[in-house]
């Protein structure tokens, strides 16, 4: 497992607080340690390595690392699992680590073993590591695209302004299949190409068809364990017509074997189809993918179980947020659809439909608000590695969980012995509402301040309901008449916040489902 000692270059660790221990580690294992781009790399490749870098799936993300813990303590733990190709520890300018690292093994089996054996490993007394799979992020979210543009036009335009474009994923509008949803996911050959494109497409530098665009990372997607996927017998179907019913879907998918469908749950323009057997699910998927249903060309894939152990929780908000490609499960929200994650759970107690969603390809694993700090793609101080994924689609950024339990009041008992300290409310960071997020977005992209117009309707029972129309000067090409939500609210404040939320969602900006 250890390589033969070689002469090491001490420049990578010169002046490190544990320089002596690192030199001893290098002499003992024969690995080099170099520091570059905000990270310290052990190996990559290891001594005597020939051939290409290990394939996707061999790397794990390691979080919750004590800030004063370094390679001399990490390597002995992780090398017990198998041969390490490289270990990348994220560093800050003070010489401390940033709380997370990436360990790449030479085989996928060792990567899986590390997750199973070292997640929640006690590295020091009372300090436990978080270990989970890591994947490459080669995909960007691009918002603000004219809704009349086709996939081929967007692909050609992106190839003009950025390099190494592999694919563009565009979804049709829910209400008008001839239009797109105002955003696309752009896939590149590798993470470096995507990172260079993201830097080049910073708002204000480049316009597409004369429109300001918004660019950010598409949220990384995790692979689901093959053993878990072998037991899935639920299909995810997207791009359905709004008027297509659950009965129609069940009839079409039952046509291949009468009685094979257990139940169907349709939400807006997507649905989950539960089968009694996996074999029937696979046969129906192969037969119905790309088929026409009520005049719409549908896409059918296996739903992916949601992993609650998402590695995002281990990053402690390092770096900036992702644009989530999201979920294929009972966890959906507005105007953005992407990968199939099934989260078996609770019925919807409100009876209200979830909001729409957006998304891209690949298996998204869990919903979180990408407005909160996440981490960026592979390499450097950027944070965790991003998204790979299979030929599947995620339910998109900003989705509310369809199966979320009713939230209980957040009240906690005051217990004897609790220490209460004086706190200045000015020092507390207030939570931003959708209106503030929209105003900041408009200011950042120089679109001009949003304008809100209040409208109301009085019902037969003399109840007054409210709705706001929101207009943004810089988005007049996409929204010449502004945007008016399709739902009324009980108070003007609710209506204004909801109008801002709808516009953010239509632009592909995630919104916190708690609002």
Look up the CATH number of the domain holding residue 442: 3.30.160.20
Q: Are residues 42 and 127 in the same domain?
A: yes
Q: Are residues 82 and 161 in the same domain?
A: no
**8 Å CB contact between 221 and 185:** no
Query: What is the per-residue pLDDT across 489-498, written as a single tens digit (0 to 9) for each?
Result: 999 999 999 9
Residue 129 vs residues 12, 99, 122, 424: alpha-carbon distances, Å: 25, 10, 6, 34
User: What is the 8-class DSSP label of residue 175?
Assistant: S
Residue 135 vs residues 18, 59, 77, 97: alpha-carbon distances, Å: 30, 7, 22, 21
Q: How far apart are the C-alpha atoms of 242 and 86, rounded to whole Å?
A: 49
* Cβ-Cβ contacts under 8 Å for 466 (sequence gap 6 or more): 454, 455, 456, 488, 489, 490, 491, 492, 494, 495
Does any domain span residue 76? yes
Q: How far apart are the C-alpha atoms of 25 and 42, rounded to whole Å?
A: 10
With a cut of 50, say whether residue 4 has pLDDT above it.
no
Q: Round the average pLDDT of the chain to a whole number and report it.
A: 76
- Say what the pLDDT of residue 512 is: 54
Of 75-79, 238-242, 323-327, give the range with the top mean pLDDT.
Answer: 75-79
H/E stretch holding 155 reads: helix 151-161
| Residue closest to 88 by CA, chosen among 34, 131, 157, 154 | 34
Confidence of residue 387 (pLDDT cuts 50, 70, 90): very low
Percent of residues, the chain, with pLDDT higher than 70: 72
Domain of 173, in residue numbers: 139-217
Q: Are residues 122 and 170 in the same domain?
A: no
Phi–psi pair at 265, nearest 5 degrees: -125, 115
With a cut of 50, say whether residue 77 has pLDDT above it.
yes
Does any domain span residue 148? yes
With a cut of 80, say whether residue 35 has pLDDT above it.
yes
With a cut of 80, say whether residue 6 has pLDDT above it.
no
Q: Are residues 124 and 146 in the same domain?
A: no
Q: Are residues 102 and 178 in the same domain?
A: no
With a cut of 70, say whether residue 272 has pLDDT above it.
yes
Q: How far apart are the C-alpha atoms of 57 and 510, rounded to whole Å?
A: 28
Q: How far apart are the C-alpha atoms of 358 and 393, rounded to whole Å?
A: 10
Q: Are residues 16 and 105 in the same domain?
A: yes
Does any domain span residue 238? yes
Residue 39 vs residues 45, 99, 277, 363, 447: alpha-carbon distances, Å: 16, 12, 48, 28, 37
Q: Output 116 or 443, whichever has higher pLDDT.
A: 116
Q: Which of 114, 133, 152 is the last residue of a domain?
A: 133
Query: What is the per-residue pLDDT across 185-230, written as a single tens digit (0 to 9) for each?
Result: 999 988 888 989 998 887 667 888 888 888 888 876 656 777 788 8
Does any domain span residue 361? no
- Say what the pLDDT of residue 428 is: 62
Longest pairwise C-alpha distance within the chain: 85
Does any domain span residue 51? yes
- Say what the pLDDT of residue 427 is: 62
Q: Which of 133, 167, 186 is the last residue of a domain?
A: 133
Please provide the size of the chain in residues: 515
Query: What is the per-residue pLDDT across 142-168, written as a single tens digit (0 to 9) for each?
Result: 988 999 999 999 999 999 999 999 999
- Say what the pLDDT of residue 511 is: 65
- Mean pLDDT computed over 233-248: 91
- Say what the pLDDT of residue 285 is: 94
The DSSP string of 239-261 is: S--TT--HHHHHHHHHTTSTT-E
Q: How far apart are the C-alpha atoms of 188 and 510, rounded to whole Å?
A: 22
Q: Are residues 36 and 108 in the same domain?
A: yes
- Say what the pLDDT of residue 268 is: 82
**8 Å CB contact between 488 and 465:** yes
- Mean pLDDT computed over 57-81: 93
Q: Are residues 123 and 143 in the same domain?
A: no
Look up the CATH number of the domain holding residue 50: 3.30.70.330
Q: How far apart are the C-alpha atoms of 408 and 266, rounded to whole Å?
A: 27
Q: Are residues 161 and 127 in the same domain?
A: no
Q: Are residues 94 and 20 in the same domain?
A: yes
Q: Are residues 20 and 126 in the same domain?
A: yes
Does any domain span residue 425? no
Q: Which of 154, 189, 217 is the last residue of a domain?
A: 217
Query: What SS3 string covers 406-418?
Result: CCCCCCCCCCCCC
Q: Output 432 or 243, whichever has higher pLDDT.
A: 243
Q: Are residues 85 and 157 in the same domain?
A: no
Does any domain span residue 427? no
With a cut of 50, say whether residue 328 has pLDDT above it.
no
**8 Å CB contact between 450 and 465:** no
- Mean pLDDT computed over 274-294: 92
**pTM of the prediction?**
0.50
Q: How far apart are the C-alpha atoms of 135 and 49, rounded to whole Å?
A: 22
Q: How far apart are the C-alpha atoms of 185 and 215, rounded to whole Å?
A: 10
- Mean pLDDT computed over 302-331: 49
H/E stretch holding 471 reads: strand 464-471
Report the domain count for the chain. Answer: 4
| Residue closest to 134 by CA, chosen among 181, 73, 87 | 87
- Say what the pLDDT of residue 344 is: 40
With a cut of 80, say whether residue 377 has pLDDT above it.
no
Does any domain span residue 450? yes
Query: What SS3 string covers 92-125?
Result: CCCCCEEEEEEEEECCHHHHHHHHHHHCCCEEEC
Query: What is the per-residue pLDDT across 332-359, written as a single tens digit (0 to 9) for each?
Result: 333 333 445 554 433 333 333 333 333 3
């Amino acid at each position: 497992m250890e390589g033969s000692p070689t002469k090491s270059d001490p420049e990578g660790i010169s002046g490190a607080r544990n320089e002596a221990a690192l030199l001893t580690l290098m002499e003992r294992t024969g690995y080099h340690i170099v520091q570059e781009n905000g990270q310290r790399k052990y190996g990559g490749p290891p001594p005597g390595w020939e051939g290409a870098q290990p394939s996707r799936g061999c790397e794990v993300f390691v979080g919750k690392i004590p800030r004063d813990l370094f390679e001399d303590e990490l390597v002995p733990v992780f090398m017990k699992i198998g041969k390490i190709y490289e270990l990348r520890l994220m560093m800050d300018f003070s010489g401390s680590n940033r709380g997370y690292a990436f360990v790449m093994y030479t085989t996928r089996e060792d990567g899986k073993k590390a997750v199973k054996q070292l997640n929640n490993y006690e590295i020091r007394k009372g300090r436990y590591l978080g270990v989970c799979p890591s994947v490459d992020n080669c995909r960007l979210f691009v918002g603000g695209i004219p809704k009349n543009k086709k996939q081929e036009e967007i692909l050609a335009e992106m190839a003009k302004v950025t390099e190494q474009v592999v694919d563009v994923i565009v979804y049709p509008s829910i209400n008008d299949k001839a239009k797109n949803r105002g955003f696309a996911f752009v896939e590149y050959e590798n993470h470096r190409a995507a990172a260079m494109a993201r830097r080049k497409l910073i708002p204000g530098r480049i316009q597409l068809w004369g429109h300001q665009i918004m660019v950010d990372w598409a949220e990384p997607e995790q692979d689901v364990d093959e053993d878990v996927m072998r037991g899935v017998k639920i299909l995810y179907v997207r791009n359905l017509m709004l008027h297509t019913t659950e009965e129609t879907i069940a009839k079409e998918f039952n046509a291949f074997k009468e009685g094979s469908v257990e139940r169907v749950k349709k939400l807006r323009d997507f649905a989950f189809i539960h089968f009694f057997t996996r074999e029937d699910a696979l046969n129906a998927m192969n037969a119905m993918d790309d088929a026409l249903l009520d005049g719409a060309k549908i896409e059918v894939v296996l739903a992916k179980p949601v992993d609650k152990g998402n590695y995002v929780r281990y990053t402690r908000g390092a770096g900036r947020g992702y644009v989530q490609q999201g979920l294929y499960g009972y966890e959906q929200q507005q105007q953005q659809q992407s990968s199939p994650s099934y989260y078996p759970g609770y019925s919807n107690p409100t009876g209200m439909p979830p909001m729409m969603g957006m998304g891209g390809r690949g298996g998204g694993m869990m919903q979180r608000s990408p407005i909160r700090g996440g981490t960026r793609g592979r390499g450097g101080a950027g944070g965790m590695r991003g998204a790979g994924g299979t030929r599947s689609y995620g339910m998109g950024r900003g989705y509310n969980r369809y199966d979320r339990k009713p939230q209980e009041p957040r009240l906690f008992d005051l217990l004897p012995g609790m220490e209460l300290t004086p706190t200045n409310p000015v020092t507390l960071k207030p939570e931003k509402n959708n209106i503030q997020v929209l105003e900041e977005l408009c200011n950042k992209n120089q679109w001009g301040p949003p304008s809100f117009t209040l409208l109301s309707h009085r019902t037969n029972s003399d109840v007054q309901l409210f709705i706001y129309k929101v207009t943004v000067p810089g988005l007049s090409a996409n929204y010449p008449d502004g945007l008016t939500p399709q739902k009324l609210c009980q108070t003007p404040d609710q209506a204004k916040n909801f109008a801002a939320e709808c516009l953010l969602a239509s632009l592909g900006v995630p919104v916190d489902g708690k609002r």
